[in-house]
A and B are shown apart, each in its own frame.
Chain A
Amino acid sequence: DAGVTQSPTHLIKTRGQQVTLRCSPKSGHDTVSWYQQALGQGPQFIFQYYEEEERQRGNFPDRFSGHQFPNYSSELNVNALLLGDSALYLCASSFIGRNQPQHFGDGTRLSIL
């Protein structure tokens, strides 16, 4: 049973560029959330997708956008990259339900030069 998978594992970009990160949820899961984790800090919630719609959003600018596909997989897009966007980006999936934990992927480490 495959867990949450994210691609790519590592990515290097320069300021001003755009990036797309991908996530496949754990089998049976229908909800996907994205988090940004800067070095030495806890993950910060970016947004959550359910039924192909953004349902909740954290305190991130519009440069951060996403999408969920009919097969529940998801993409995170970041435009006009800034040095401060360098971080580990974590995808988490869950099955809708109040007591369901979110299961995380191994993350994509994004470095901005």
Chain B
Amino acid sequence: EVQLVESGGGLVQPGGSLRLSCAASGFTVSSNYMSWVRQAPGKGLEWVSVIYSGGSTYYTDSVKGRFTISRDNSKNTLYLQMNSLRAEDTAVYYCAMGIAVAGAPFDYWGQGTLVTVSS
């Protein structure tokens, strides 16, 4: 059974850093593409970043240079390092998985972890 479990969310001050984790089971993260999607309170879904099986990474413009997506194949875990956090980064962050084909849908999602950026 495929499972994605996010962790690492919490309250952080503006300008601070946080690292989110997404532990995967039932499949191999390195064989599929993995994404982070966020949802601000009361708002819609916003794609944040993707890492493909080959290691290529892409980011939405608003987080480029501040966020870094990575994975640890030995731990079968996806990460999102978030630096220089802003109030507008406050959201529930979901990790999602799709098969290793460009344009494929996000077949599986985690339950999300809440990040709150506030002083």
Asked whether A and B interact, the reply is no
Q: Give A contacts to B, CB under 8 Å.
A: none
